[in-house]
Every structure is written in C-alpha cells, then in structure tokens.
Amino acid sequence: MPLLNSMARSVNFVWNFVNELSQRSIKERGVFLSAYDVQKYTNGAGKDLGLHSQTVQRIAVEYTTRRKQFKKARLNWRKSGGVRRSLGWIPVNTAAAQWKNGQVYHNGHYFKVWDSYGLSQYTFRSASFNEDARGRWYFNVVVDVEVEPPKGQDRIGIDLGLTDTATCSDGTKLEAGRFYRGLEEKLAIAQRARNKTQVKTIHAKIANRRKDTLHKFSRELVNRCGEIYVGNVSSLKLAKTKMAKSVLDAGWGQLKTMLDYKCAHAGIVFKEVNEAYTTQTCSCCGALPDSRPRGIAGLGIREWTCSACGVTHSDRDINAAKNILAVGHGRLAVGITASLGR
C-alpha cells in the first residue's frame, strides 16, 4: 500500500535520526538520552514527515527500550531499500487509532482491514502496522477483553523432543509436524530458480503452519490445566549441532513462549524446570537404575524396565515428562540434581 510504505520510510528516517543523535550524545557528552530527551529534538517533525505526532514519540520510546535491552550505544540502521530492507513498521500510540465506518482510522486516513475479530466491539490501545516479507500489511492492536479463567485443574509436565515435539505426563502428544522438511524440496526448487516471490511464499507457509499447530496445542493445554511444567532444553544450543533443522522445525522456543504468556494471561502456573536426568530416572521409584538408557547410544531405547522396582516404562518420553512434573512440584527424584546435565 503506497501510503503505508511512505509512512514506513518516514519511520525509518526518524529511527535513524534518533540512532545518530543517541550515538553522538554518548560519544561527545557521555550521556544516554531518554525518550523524553529525544522528544525535544523531534517535536513538530511528524507533520512534515506525514506521521502522527504520537508515532514519532513511540519511535523514541521503542528505540530507548531496545538500546537498554541490547546494551548498545547504537542500534542497527533501518533501511528503506536494497536487499537488506527493513520490513515496514509504523507504531501507533494509545487512542491514536480507532474503528470508524468499518475501517481503521489513523492520522487522518482510513485503512481497510479484514476484520476477523469484530474490532468494532473494542477500544484500541497501543497498536502498529506491520509488513511481512511478502509485502503484506497487518494491523496489530492491543485491546481489553473479558476472559473467563479456565476451570481446568490438570497438572502436567512436558518433555520436548524431536520424534514428538511435545510429550505430556498424561500421555498427550504433539507429533513432529515436519513443517520445513515437508516443503524443503519445493523450497530448494524455488531457490535454484531464483524465484524470490515463491521462496518468500513457501517460508511464510512453513511459519504459518507451525504457528497454527503450536497455538492450538498450547491453547488446549492452558484450557484444561492449572499447572504446566516444561523441561529447560535449549533449542539455541542444539541449533548449532547436526540436529539444527529438526530442532528449529520443532519450534520448542515458540511453544514455550506461547505457554508462558497464555498461562500468565489465564492466571495459571507455568514453570520451566531443570530436566537433568529426567529421561534416565524411574518416575515410579525415583531411582537411577543400572538398566536405564544412557548417553547417545541409549537414545534409540524407547522402552526399558527399572531394575530397582521392576516397573516397565513403555514410553521413555512419558517417563521423562512425569519426572519433569515431579521436579516442578519440588519433589526432586533420587539422582536428579540441579547441577547435573541431561
């Protein structure tokens, strides 16, 4: 959309101005400018740039927030063109956008949207217009809604893996979706043909399928559970190994993020706990028996019998999930210590 693209270029201009201003202030005076300090230099710029005055303010607030987050004197420049072009982003402050005549009204302009949520029912708070890699624009807005707290009382532990993305202590599983693997061949063909549009479309399809599956699974858990505990397996560390494609395709980080904010919103317990030795410990007696599967060689062992109590674990992932649940409750099984690695 030409208007949004023009506004996005203006946003980039303001961001880069603030970036240079902040860098000079630190270099010449040793002073880190706050969002309030930056506003003194940007007052009145919105009208000339075709931006709402509060959008300019939001850019300054976002910049200072990210500068503190990444602990840098200067952040990356936002580029409006070229191969490394920054995707369009236009922040909207609270009450600076509203629903009028079946459209989003902002900065004196009307924007048509596909209203799949019934936006006329809500008062808009902070929002933003965002562009994706295919050049499509989205309106993302925060609204107040009345949500009935879930009545579920289940308590579950979750073991994350590659054969199944997630295995719950009650036996529920989320099978590995192979979102990337399933379209890898088509993606390779599009890349060899240098069809950039097709490449972006396939990547978007992969991401959307993964998000849809993880959203549905996490929502189902949040609706029926009162406590959720998940192992602290690191997808970033494993992404540096030979399992990188499978790990990234599984979306462990996305699933944990979804569970975190959905549980917080629903008012239920969510904790990421140490999963050290949860695969090798018997969830029945809490022992580390000699018969347990060990090391890389033991990864293929899916069923094993505890030599200490005689219980047979038909699914090692469910056994691990039960141990994760026990750790979440503070009942460390024998042999599971916070200092040991898995």
Give pLDDT, residue 334: 42
CB 317 within 8 A of CB 167: yes
Query: What's the Rg (C-alpha) of the chain?
Result: 25
- At 136 the pLDDT is 92
Least confident of 163-172, 209-218, 303-312, 330-339: 330-339
**pLDDT, greater one: 291 or 141:** 141
For residue 219, pLDDT over 70 is answered with yes
DSSP annotation string for 164-231: EEEEETTS-EEE---HHHHHHHHHHHHHHTT-HHHHHHHHHHHHHHHHHHHHHHHHHHHHHEEEEEEE
Tens digits of residue pLDDT in 151-206: 777 899 999 988 889 999 999 999 888 888 889 999 999 999 999 999 999 999 99
Rounded Cα gap, residues 27 and 108, in angstroms: 39
Can you tell me the mean pLDDT for 78-85? 91
Contacts of 321 (CB under 8 A, 6+ apart): 156, 157, 158, 159, 167, 168, 169
How distant is the alpha carbon of residue 290 from its chain centre? Answer: 39
pLDDT at 148 over 80: no
Cα 16 to Cα 37: distance, rounded to the nearest angstrom: 16
Domains of the chain, start order: 2-70 (no CATH), 89-143 (2.40.50), 154-273 (no CATH), 275-342 (no CATH)
Average pLDDT, the chain: 88
pLDDT at 298: 64
For the cut 80, the answer to whether the pLDDT of residue 224 exceeds it is yes
What's the pLDDT at 333? 42
Length reported for the chain: 342
Stated pTM of the model: 0.75
